[in-house]
Structures are given as structure tokens and as C-alpha cells.
Amino acid sequence: MIINKKISLYTKISKIIDIKTMLITLALVVAGLICLYSAVINNLPDKFNMQLIWAIIGFFVMLGFARIPLNTIKDFSYIFYIIMVIALAGLFIVGTKNYGTTGWYSFGPFSFQPAEFTKIALILAVAKFLSTKGNSVANMLDIGKLIIMFAIPFGLILKQPDLGTALTLLVLFLGLLFWAGADPYYGVMMIASLIIFIASLMSFEAVLITGFITAIVLLFFKKKIYIYGISIIILISIGISSESIFSRLGDHQQSRILVFLYPDKDIQNTGYNLNQSKIAVGSGGLVGKGYMQGSINQNRYIPKHYNDFIYSVPSEEFGFLGSFLILLLLFILCYRGVHIAYQSKDIFSSLIAFSSSLILFIHIFYNIGMVLGLFPIMGIPLPFFSHGGTFLMSNFIYVSFIMNVHRSNNQ
């Protein structure tokens, strides 16, 4: 009888708040704080203290946002989008430059990065637009409006320059269109363009091979001959202009791409971070060296190991088992968001739950790949682990959207 009452109480509470998602998030936040503590407590304790404060605030913000009616969020979507575009533009007047990027507003010891909240604004604005169109993006005029909606913040972020966030925004936008039912052909074209760009920086042979494979893949979509022809021309143009595009990037961005293409070329300078990161991950073995016993991270052989390379900390100290458990929790959170989005019958709700899961997945997938040397280093942090108040707060808001849609589904 007591057990039945407890089950009944749990069922009632779960209709009000998404307990499973909340507990997974809480576990990730605690794990992130534990890893960050190990990374900074001996030399940069203030960073841990600030992260702890933001984590506590963010947790209650998440619970609060999860209770806001979705119609209210939807009504303010365009307003929030406009505010964030203005905030991005304002950076070029009063913004602060860090790591070669003019992407922060500074207020004494605090800083704010508008690009993180711009991702949220784009999610809400695109979701609202698509929901008013009945989930149809086949109309060329509507597609044009969506591209403009995306291009404005994308261009402003790229101008900072913040290539990593700009590319994240691009993948997010493509994911939104895919979930809304857009033709996957154009998504494949975007991905192919990026592959051709990277291949063209390597060698002529690499361009020929990737170009040939791409041309074959695009044939399977059975598009009209003029669409296929235009696609091939676009890809050829990207390959030809890649050198010019590359030369316009900042020196630190060029070096990051070159380190990815030629990882052993300069391991004492431009390739130092990546080399040390791979050593730290590999040295952890199966069970790790023990908490706060990771020599590479404790001795700060990896600069900024509390931010972009935070995953090297649990990998070295807790080994494969510990780092795999962290990955498992992160991917369970993403899967749960997609599952909740799939269950929703409301277009707006489904889109914001899916895109929130997608943006978390993009960061997880790319950050881990970056730490392992599978992707170029582009300053994409790991959700709930990397240091940064703005980023952590945005992570909580993504989860709040997932929880909110879950509550809406139950109602």
C-alpha cells in the first residue's frame, strides 16, 4: 500500500516536473563541478567558486523556465531574437576581445557572451516561424526568410570572428530544417561544402576523391539536372576559393585548422595543446590515475584545461570507465530530449525540444572529437563541464525547454 502511494505520488510529481531529466542534469552538473575543482583548485580557485554560483543560480532558473507556459515563450520569441541581434552588433562598439575574438561584454569581474544566447534566440524564432507555416518549408519565399533569419546572427558571429560558434549555428539551423521536414538534400550539400573546403587545404588529390564521392552521393537524391548542375558548380567554387577564404581567417584560427590537418608538424608550438590532450586521455588507461592525481592536468601542461579541454581531466583521472560514464549521461540527456520532441504533437514544442537536444549534442560530439584530435580546435566547450557562466546558463535553459515540453505533453 505504501509502495503504491509512493508510485502514485511520483506519477503526480512527474506530470508537473520532468524528474528524470532533472536528475540526469543534476548528476552532470555535480560531475562537472568535481572535474573543474580538480582542474583549477590549486591555481585558479576563483573559477570554481564562480562556476558553483552559476550552477546554483542556473539550476533554479532551469526549474523556473520549465514552468513558463510555452505560449508565453512563443509570444516573446521574435522579440528575444531582435534583442540578441542588437547585442551581437553592439559588441563591435563596446565589446571586449578575448582569445582574438570580440565576443564578450565585460562588467567588472563578470562577462557575458551574447553568442550563446543567440543560439537560444534562433531556436525560438525559427520554431515560431515554422509553427505558423504548418511545419512546411517547401515554399521558396519561406526558405528565403529562414535563411535571412539565420544569416544575420551567423554573419555577426563570423565577423567577431568566432568560427566555432558560427559553424555550430549552421548545424543547428540545418537540424531545425530537417526536423521540420525540409529536403535533406540541402543539408547534405552544406556538409559536403565543408568537407570539400577542408580537403582543398590538404591536397589536389584529396579534393578529387572527396569531390567524386560527393557527386555520386548527390545523384542518389534524383534531383532535376539543373539543380544537380548548380550544386556541382557551388562545390567546385568552394574548392577553388578555399585558399582565399582560409587567408581571411585569423592567425589563431588558421593554426588550429593546420594543426588538425598536420597534427605532428609542430607539436611544441601550435600543436602543443592537442598533443598534451591526447597524452592525458591515453595515460588514464581503464580506471585512471585517481582523483586530483592526473599529472598532466595538475601540472597545467594543457593550457585552458578547465575550458575547451576539460574532458581530458576525467579521462586522465577516472580513465576510460569514468569518462565513458560521463559521455553516457550526456547522450542519455540528448536522447531524452529527442524522445520528448518526438512525442509532442505541437510543432513549436517539438522543434524547441529537438533543437535543444541537438545543440547539446553538437557541443558534446565536437568537443570530444576536438580533445581526441578528430576535429580542428575551434573553442567549442563541453556542456555542464567547461568553465563559463554564460555557457552554463544556456545549457540549463536548453534543459528547461526539454522539461517544459515534457510537462506540456503530459497535460
Q: Which range, 8-17, 51-60, 262-271, 369-378, is most confident?
A: 51-60
Measured in whole angstroms, how far is the alpha carbon of residue 157 from the centre of its chain? 14
Average pLDDT over residues 124-137: 80
- What confidence score (pLDDT) does residue 274 get? 75
* Gap between the Cα atoms of 76 and 178, Å rounded: 24
Neighbours of 141 (CB within 10 A): 7
More confident call, 349 vs 294: 349
The pTM score is 0.87
Write out pLDDT tens, residues 195-230: 887 777 777 777 788 888 888 888 888 788 888 888
Beta bridge partners of 98: 101
pLDDT at 5 over 70: no
Percent of the chain with pLDDT over 90: 37
The set of cell numbers assigned to 111 is 562577462
Write out pLDDT tens, residues 366-402: 899 888 877 777 778 999 999 988 999 999 999 999 9
pLDDT at 2 over 60: no
The set of cell numbers assigned to 5 is 502511494
* Gap between the Cα atoms of 325 and 368, Å rounded: 14
- Cβ within 8 Å of residue 117, ≥6 positions away: 84, 87, 390, 394
pLDDT tier at 176, thresholds 50, 70, 90: confident
Question: Residues 104, 90: contact at Cβ < 8 Å?
Answer: no
- Cβ within 8 Å of residue 301, ≥6 positions away: 276, 280
Question: Residues 358, 175: contact at Cβ < 8 Å?
Answer: yes
* Gap between the Cα atoms of 6 and 376, Å rounded: 50
What are the boundaries of each domain within the chain?
Answer: 2-410
- What confidence score (pLDDT) does residue 94 get? 87
pLDDT at 339 over 70: yes
How far, in Å, are 24, 343, 386 from residue 408 at the CA level? Answer: 20, 10, 31
The set of cell numbers assigned to 344 is 509532442
Length of the chain: 411
pLDDT at 188 over 70: yes
List, as one string, the DSSP characters of 51-65.
HHHHHHHHHHHHHHH
Average pLDDT over residues 243-258: 69
pLDDT tier at 268, thresholds 50, 70, 90: low
**Sign of the CA dihedral with 188 first, then 169, 324, and 14 last:** negative
Beta strand pairing call for 101-107 and 110-112 = antiparallel
Write out pLDDT tens, residues 134-154: 655 656 677 788 888 988 998
Q: How many helices (H) and strands (E) does the chain have?
A: 17, 3
- What confidence score (pLDDT) does residue 322 get? 92
Average pLDDT over residues 174-195: 78
* Gap between the Cα atoms of 267 and 282, Å rounded: 17
**Sign of the CA dihedral with 319 first, then 320, 321, and 323 last:** positive
* Collapsed DSSP state (helix, strand, coil) of residue 196: helix
Q: 234: left (phi > 0), else alpha (psi -120 to 50), else beta? A: alpha
**Sign of the CA dihedral with 313 first, then 282, 378, and 362 last:** negative
- What confidence score (pLDDT) does residue 61 get? 94
